[in-house]
Amino acid sequence: MKSQTATTAGTLSHADAPSVARTGWMLFLFGTLTAALFAFVIYPRQGAIDAVIDVNGFGSLARRIANGEGFSLGYGPTMRRAPLYPAFAALLMLPFGTQGPPAEVYRPVIAGQCLIFGLSCVVCWTIARKLFGPRAGLIAGILCAITPQTLRYVGMTEVETMMGLFIALMALTGLNFARETTFKNAVWFGMACAGASLLKAVALLYPFVFAALLAVRWWRTRKTAASADTTSQDRTRPHPLAAAGVALAVYALCLAPWCIRNYIVSGGQFKSISTNGPGEFLRGYVMAQPKYVFLQKDFGGHESDMIWDVEANLVEDAILRRYGLSMFSQERRGPNGEPLPLEPRIDNEVRKDRAEAAEVKRLLREEPAGFVRKFAMQFFSFWYVVETRKKSLIVGAIALIYLSLAIFGCVRARRAGIDTAPVYSVVLYFNVIYAAILAFARYSMPVYPTLIALTAIGLAQLLPARLREPQTRRNL
């Protein structure tokens, strides 16, 4: 990463501060109202997607927490989910009770997510404003509030809306940290990354990736810094690697209580954030088949005669049977007599993870070409594969436009000396990590508030010259 040298778009005078604060509040209100309109009015009445609320059990888990039953899906303690979103949802439900139909019980949670969505718009605006100036920031904030991908899960008890906020916070705090490697910025960055990891364990490696980027940056510039005059202000700043160490220490301290909890409840057999990572990795091989990636067969939905999830369950079950286990319960049956998934108990989760981790190691050791093929396929499916071919084409078209504008804007920004690496590295990280594990468009949607911050400058470049930022016209 290189330092920003060609623009002072992110700096503010005291006279500008009230105007900036006013814009921030207006974008927060606009984003919150847009989310509320979608979640409470449009989502329950539209027919393009199933208007369900609690698909993956986050709401049910939050209910049990609010009822005092602990972190459980009904079979004792579980490690199947990360803790932050269920705890947030339970806290919002506590004052209103947990009894009644889902649409009523989860209403406070959805309202809270509307506020989170408004905050995401503000963070998106802040990133774009710091990088490219007020006009690009305003474009980013408005675009964040009306993009279908950012709104998609705000009406459900799913982690994506909150994850979108924390991914954007990772980018914003990373940008601040890269520009000023102070201990204060290190602490904020570590906390933002910890929040994202406690929402979804897929974020676990990013702080180390970012620390490596800082190390490379320091290594490239150390000779120049050694020969240049150093101001007293520069001498008071910590060494970049020391600041990175503080960020990682804060990150580890935030994660430690939950990891210790999992270590205790699993009898010392598991000490990370959540289980099922190896299972998701194996299911990625099903996702990476050409029939799904090239939209020859619908990924899911009522139109499919064989949805991906059913096929993935059968493949995963066949793998587990080679290790003397099964994906399905031997006791529980569905309304039509079909076997139901294994009960989410600690012993089941640990055994399943161990068997599937052994299979993952075998595949990587004996069939590396298969992993490379899977990664290549999923690097692209991350942005467009949803339930049906028609929907995938629409989602993919939006993604292609946003990604093209973001790349165009980043290239122009680099020529102007604007360092966008702390932001685009977040987008690229999640694209890469999901491609390695399991990738379809649902997982890309929390990345959009951050992507939109980069899209804004590309879009601003397409405006008539008289509408662009004056400084942007000069430098880009």
pLDDT over 70 for what percent of the chain? 90
pLDDT for 241 beyond 60: yes
User: Do the bridges between strand 328-333 and strand 339-341 make them parallel or antiparallel, or are there none, so unpaired?
Assistant: antiparallel
CA distances from 198 to 141, 182, 273, 393 (A): 26, 24, 7, 32
Question: The whole model's pTM is what?
Answer: 0.92
DSSP annotation of 447: G
Q: What is the pLDDT of residues 359-406, one digit of tens each?
A: 999 999 999 999 999 999 999 999 999 999 999 999 999 999 999 999
Q: Is residue 10 scored above 50 in pLDDT?
A: no
At 150, give phi and psi (nearest 5°).
Answer: -70, -30
Average pLDDT over residues 143-172: 97
**Quick one: which of 254, 10, 32, 264 has its CA closest to 127?**
10
pLDDT tens column, 101-137: 888 999 999 999 999 999 999 999 999 999 999 999 9
Q: What is the pLDDT of residues 417-461, one digit of tens each?
A: 899 999 999 999 999 999 999 999 999 999 999 999 999 988 887
Longest dimension (CA), the chain: 77
Contacts of 211 (CB under 8 A, 6+ apart): 244, 247, 248
Please tell me what DSSP assigns to residue 331. E
3-state class (DSSP) for residue 387: coil
If residue 341 lies in a helix (H) or strand (E), which one and from where to where? strand 339-341
* Distance, CA of 107 to CA of 117 (rounded, Å): 15
Q: What is the dihedral of CA 284, 286, 288, 292, to 10 degrees?
A: -130
Domain ranges of the chain: 17-220+239-475
For 421, the 3-state DSSP assignment is: helix
As to burial, measured by CB atoms within 10 angstroms (0-12 exposed, 13-18 middle, 19+ buried), residue 330 is exposed
Q: Which of 344, 447, 285, 262 is nearest to 56 (CA)?
A: 344
Tell me the two tokens of residue 359. 């299979």
The span from the CA of 462 to the CA of 431, in Å, is 26
Note whether 295 and 389 are within 8 A (CB): yes
d(CA 145, CA 167): 16
